[in-house]
């Protein structure tokens, strides 16, 4: 019988017109090209990650989900829509500006069959001086305003720009118009969805030299003009050995923790736990083994792992289902 243990996955890397090579700073072996996304924990038709460590090495997250079920993934650990793992964990390298985009809610009629909506959050791992993001519409912008601005190529005038630095956190519910901009590296915790509606893409060609598709009607339909509930916070108040809540949604809770010496923790039978190592290094140990960890690594802890301990000097994000 396979005993539960922290699972480390081989990332699925995605080339993007806005990507670069910054994920190499985490010791990741990138393929050639403009790598914009590392899907670190994924169970999606567009990318499924395979385990790298331990007895289950080589198995996909989908296989493990089917084999071990709720015992490992928790009472809440499955999407009610498609039965898949409910979250998707990414590292993003924004060497250039991403398209201005918006994501749908679960109940949007235009969603592809079996696909979820997309609520997400960002934790800024690295940011160049003067880095910024686009985060919502300016106050009072209506659907008619947005359509007119798209028609006369003035949409940037309606968007709210926010300066960012490492450690900043942004909660992005479905319906929030947003874009990461050049010079930031982020960890993204999101619903397990790959549905993005592009509003504007700076009139640039894609990797194939052709203009990238825009999704104007879908974008206008799903944008939350009265506000989506987007929130941001600085995480400078985090103290060692205590969790600081960064984001709470119907889909995930994300907390920041500072590891400084031994920290005794435990999983819950309701949900798996995901640990994203933002910086530093250390060791995670549990009944039956131990595993070193380093910045950029993302671990999936089964719900039935029980007690575990973090040691070392690092910053981690902890995500689980509400």
Contact 187, 235 (CB under 8 A): no
- Summarised one tens digit per residue, pLDDT across range 172-201 is 999 999 999 999 999 999 999 999 999 999
pLDDT for position 228? 87
Q: Which of 105, 97, 62, 72 is nearest to 5 (CA)?
A: 72
Radius of gyration of the chain (CA): 19
Q: Quick check: 75 pLDDT over 90?
A: no
- Summarised one tens digit per residue, pLDDT across range 275-294 is 999 999 999 999 989 999 99
What domains does the chain contain, in order, with CATH numbers?
7-233 (2.60.120.10), 244-320 (2.60.120.10)
Instruction: Give the model's confidence band at 15: pLDDT under 50 very low, under 70 low, under 90 confident, else very high.
Output: very high
Q: Which residue has the higher pLDDT, 297 or 238?
A: 297
Contact 152, 145 (CB under 8 A): no
Instruction: Give the model's confidence band at 238: pLDDT under 50 very low, under 70 low, under 90 confident, else very high.
Output: confident
Q: How far is CA 205 from each of CA 31, 104, 233, rounded to the nearest angstrom?
A: 22, 25, 34
Catalytic machinery residues: 198
**HSE on the CB side for 139, CA within 13 Å?**
0
- Summarised one tens digit per residue, pLDDT across range 17-62 is 999 999 999 999 999 999 999 999 999 999 999 999 999 999 999 9
DSSP-based three-state secondary structure for 119: coil
pLDDT for position 82? 76
Q: Quick check: 124 pLDDT over 80?
A: yes
Instruction: Please spell the DSSP secondary structure of 72-105, one letter per residue.
Output: HH-TT-S-TTTSS-SEEEEEEEESSPPPEEE---
CA distance 107 to 156: 28
CA-based end-to-end distance of the chain: 29
pLDDT for position 206? 87
Q: Which residue has the higher pLDDT, 236 or 187?
A: 187
- Summarised one tens digit per residue, pLDDT across range 290-318 is 999 999 999 999 999 999 999 999 999 99
Q: How far is CA 39 from each of CA 50, 115, 162, 296, rounded to the nearest angstrom?
A: 11, 17, 26, 11
Q: Quick check: 236 pLDDT over 80?
A: no
CA distance 261 to 310: 8
CA distance 5 to 250: 27
DSSP-based three-state secondary structure for 66: helix
**Which of 97-111, 228-242, 271-285 comes out lowest in average pLDDT?**
228-242
Q: Quick check: 89 pLDDT over 80?
A: yes
Q: Quick check: 79 pLDDT over 90?
A: no
Phi/psi zone of residue 139: left (φ > 0), alpha (ψ -120 to 50 degrees), beta? beta
CA distance 157 to 317: 34
CA distance 286 to 265: 10
Sign of CA dihedral 157, 162, 164, 168: negative
Q: The whole model's pTM is what?
A: 0.96
Strands in 83-214 per DSSP E: 87-94, 100-102, 120-127, 132-137, 159-163, 169-172, 178-180, 184-191, 197-200
Q: How far is CA 65 from each of CA 42, 51, 69, 71, 300, rounded to the nearest angstrom?
A: 11, 12, 5, 10, 12
Q: What is the mean pLDDT of the chain?
A: 95
């Amino acid at each position: 019988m396979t005993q539960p243990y922290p699972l480390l996955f081989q990332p699925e890397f995605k080339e993007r017109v806005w990507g670069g090579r910054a994920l190499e700073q985490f010791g990741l072996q990138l393929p050639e090209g403009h790598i914009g996304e590392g899907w670190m924990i994924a169970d999606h038709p567009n990318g499924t990650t395979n385990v790298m460590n331990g007895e289950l090495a080589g198995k996909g997250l989908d296989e493990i989900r089917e084999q071990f079920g709720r015992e490992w993934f928790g009472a809440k650990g499955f999407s009610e829509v498609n039965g898949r793992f409910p979250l998707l964990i990414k590292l993003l390298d924004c060497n250039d500006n991403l398209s201005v985009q918006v994501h749908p809610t679960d109940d949007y009629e235009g969603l592809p069959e079996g696909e979820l909506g997309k609520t997400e959050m960002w934790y800024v791992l690295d940011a160049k001086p003067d880095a910024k993001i686009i985060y919502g519409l300016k106050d009072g912008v209506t659907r008619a305003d947005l359509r007119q601005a798209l028609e006369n190529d003035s949409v940037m005038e309606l968007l709210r720009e926010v300066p960012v630095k490492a450690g900043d956190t942004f909660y992005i519910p479905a319906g929030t118009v947003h874009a990461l901009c050049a010079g930031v590296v982020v960890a993204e915790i999101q619903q397990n969805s790959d549905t993005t509606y592009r509003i504007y893409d700076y009139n640039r060609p894609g990797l194939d030299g052709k203009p990238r598709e825009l999704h104007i009607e879908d974008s206008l339909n799903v944008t939350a003009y009265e506000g989506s509930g987007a929130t941001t916070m600085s995480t400078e108040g985090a103290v060692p050995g205590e969790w600081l809540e960064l984001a709470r949604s119907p889909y995930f809770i994300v907390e920041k923790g500072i590891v400084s010496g031994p920290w005794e923790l435990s999983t819950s039978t309701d949900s798996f736990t995901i640990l994203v190592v933002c910086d530093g290094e250390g060791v995670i140990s549990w009944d039956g083994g131990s595993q070193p960890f380093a910045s950029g690594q993302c671990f999936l802890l089964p719900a039935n792992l029980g007690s575990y301990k973090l040691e070392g000097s690092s910053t981690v994000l902890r995500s689980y289902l509400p």
